[in-house]
Chain A
């Protein structure tokens, strides 16, 4: 058994020498990526969910129609969605410094990642909630449900599947964005691949990074599909 493992590691040394020579850096990169995606994703999930719900209910014909709130949020979401992430990353430096005290490293990347993700996720939630049939909402109203009850017991409950699908897409998107966060020294897999794979021309580093990302994305997708499926009763 041990013999086999040794043989395998020797083989890896041959195959991907530049990765085996820096396992600790590689694993730290994975950890950094997961930290960024986890924290920024968690915050973005809560904010995006709230904003998506607010946009949906304040829309014309919504259960809490508020034209001013809707139009303000709608424009704001469009505004932030129009900014390329790499520009957002630089442009938000003062705000990031003010919020988390530092504009670099994993901490510094969280703020721009949240700003880059929330508008997208808000639209995902909006699309998910739009799938809830207007008639079902009307039925809830006819049974005396108020707006808040309708949000939690009808909109959110009825669209768990669709929200999960939107979350999966957003999470995968976020992994992509986090690779760019290397630009502000946040580390992570993207930074790892650029620094070694690109700048030092260690191609095997690039390949291994890509394979790792493929693996992470697949885990998220499979998990997301599973949740969506168990909540679908169509």
Chain B
């Protein structure tokens, strides 16, 4: 378990002091995949470095598995770091060492024999699916393969925690997905706790159990991924959702007077958002039948977070004014978020 208590980190420059992380309190449970999302400059990279003390916090305490790292002498701290793996956006492999030598690097003073180190290296290569690259140099590998080597190297000493600093940010979407799957696999197989730093919503959606949203050095929202993204409290969280959702495109379409958004009198455009995990009910059919209105789906964007759908639909509904009101009330009662985006009912 990782506990951060009132962690703050400021950097002193010639003229001023920059607070990169402010008063962060976090608890990351053993075995979970925890995401920290924020735009660049939010302080998330500094925050993750505070966990293994690559950056020493200016204030606060860092406790990992009951040991207060901020109170350890340098030597002890180094020993503890062997049990906290870390991977980076730029992979940071040793260019002068082969894949096998890179992976064996952290095993040098572990007391293992040469033979055991070779066995362990091969085992790790298998784990990340690079059995045939043992003798290759990093420069001969693709980005995804480099990150796999970095993961193998980070896991060499059987750490209980893996810190990922923008680990997929320099990879193409397909490779990103394969690395995320690998991470999730390792999480399940080895029970390793994973902390993921990212600015990509997709990463969080794909593998995280819980998420913290970071802005200006502070954690502004935190919780399990579904509740944070189904019902965002902060503008920045909504901004992140918008980065992967089509639903906000409707505003652009209306602004450009797209034909599909032109309303006839009596019609209105509404946005439905799923706020709860069970959307098994036939919402659209029910409102059409029960309230005698027409609902035309313009577009929808529904994704799955774990096994729960998140997202919504944009509809053009037409019918009698009070029937539409009734339908909206019924939907709200079903805990569906309803927002009337444009309304031509009074235009008749």
Interface residues of A (CB under 8 A from B): 133, 135-136, 138-146, 149, 153-154, 157-158, 160-161, 231, 233-234
A142 to B83, CA, bound (A): 10
B159 CB to closest chain A CB (Å) equals 10
Segment of B90-98, B126-134, B186-194, B233-241 in the binding face: B90-98
Which of B74-82, B171-179, B282-290 binds A?
A: B74-82
Which 4 A-B pairs have CB atoms at the shortest separation, nearest pair first? A139-B92, A142-B86, A144-B82, A144-B81
Q: Are B86 and A139 in contact (CB under 8 A)?
A: yes
Residues of B close to A136: CB separation below 8 A:
92-95
Selected from A138, A149, A154, A161, the residue in CB contact (under 8 A) with B94 is A154
Most buried by B among A135, A142, A146, A160: A142
B55-86: contact bitstring with A at CB < 8 Å (1 yes, 0 no)? Answer: 00000000000000000001100111110111
Residue B199 interfacial (CB < 8 Å): no
Q: B79 contacts A133, CB within 8 Å?
A: no
A157 near B106 with CB under 8 A, answer: no
Pick from A143, A161, A233: contact of B105, CB under 8 Å: A143
User: In the assembled complex, how far is the CB of residue B338 from the closest CB belonging to chain A, in whole angstroms?
Assistant: 48
Q: Which residues of B contact A154 (CB under 8 A)?
A: 94
Does more than half of chain A's interface fall in helix, strand or loop, or is it mixed? helix
With an 8 A cutoff between CB atoms, is B54 at the interface? Answer: yes
CB within 8 A of A144: which of B95, B97, B106?
A: B106
**Nearest CB of chain A from residue B197's CB, rounded to whole Å:** 13
Can you give 26 A-B contacts (C-beta < 8 A)?
Answer: A133-B90, A136-B92, A136-B93, A136-B94, A138-B54, A138-B88, A139-B86, A139-B88, A141-B54, A142-B154, A142-B163, A143-B82, A143-B86, A143-B156, A144-B81, A144-B106, A144-B157, A146-B74, A146-B75, A153-B108, A158-B95, A158-B96, A233-B95, A233-B96, A233-B137, A233-B139
- Cβ of B217 within 8 Å of any chain A Cβ, yes or no, is no
The answer to whether A142 and B90 have CB atoms under 8 Å apart is: no
| A158 proximity list for chain B (CB < 8 A) | 94-96
B44 within 8 A of A: no
The answer to whether the Cβ of B198 comes within 8 Å of any Cβ in the partner chain is no
Query: Within the complex, which residue of A133, A142, A157, A231 is in contact with B52, where a contact is CB–CB below 8 Å?
Result: A142
Who on chain A is nearest to B90 by CB?
A135
* B84 surroundings in chain A (CB, below 8 A): 142
- Asked whether B138 is an interface residue with its Cβ less than 8 Å from the other chain, the reply is yes
Contact A138 to B92, CB < 8 A, known contacts A143-B106, A233-B139: yes
Bound together, the chains give a CA A234 to CA B93 distance in angstroms of: 12
Selected from B78, B92, B95, B153, the residue in CB contact (under 8 A) with A145 is: B78
Q: Once the chains are docked, how many angstroms separate the CA of A146 from the CA of B154?
A: 16
For B78, what are the chain A residues with a Cβ–Cβ distance below 8 Å?
144-146
Which residues B77-127 have CB closer than 8 A to chain A? 78-82, 84-86, 88, 90, 92-97, 105-106, 108-109
Pair A231/B96 contact, Cβ less than 8 Å = yes
Q: Is the CB of A143 within 8 A of B92?
A: no
Complex contact A160–B106 (CB within 8 A): no
- B142 to A: closest C-beta gap in Å: 16
A66 to chain B, nearest CB (A): 15
Q: Once bound together, how far apart are the Cα atoms of A144 and B88, in whole Å?
A: 16
- Contact partner, B95, options A138, A143, A234, Cβ 8 Å: A234
Cα separation A149 to B82 with both chains bound (whole Å): 14
A149, B156: Cα distance in complex, Å: 18
Given contacts A138-B54, A139-B88, A233-B139, whether A144 and B94 have CB atoms under 8 Å apart is: no
Residues on B with beta carbons closer than 8 Å to the beta carbon of A139? 86, 88, 92-93, 150
Shortest Cβ gap from A149 to chain B (Å): 8
Residues of A within 8 A of B54 (CB): 138, 141-142
Q: Decide if A143 touches B94 in the complex (CB within 8 Å).
A: no
Q: A158 CB to closest chain B CB, in angstroms?
A: 5
Whether B139 lies near A141 (C-beta < 8 A) is: no
B75: chain A residues at CB < 8 Å are: 146
Residue ID in chain A nearest B150 by CB atoms: A139
Which residue of B has the minimal Cβ distance to A158? Answer: B96
Contact B139 A234 (CB under 8 A): yes
CB distance from A151 to the nearest CB of B (A): 14
| Residue in B closest to A234 when the chains form the complex, CB atoms | B139
A142 to B93 Cα, complex, angstroms: 12
What are the residues of chain A within 8 A of B74 when measuring CB–CB? 146
B residues in contact with A144, CB < 8 Å:
78-82, 106, 157
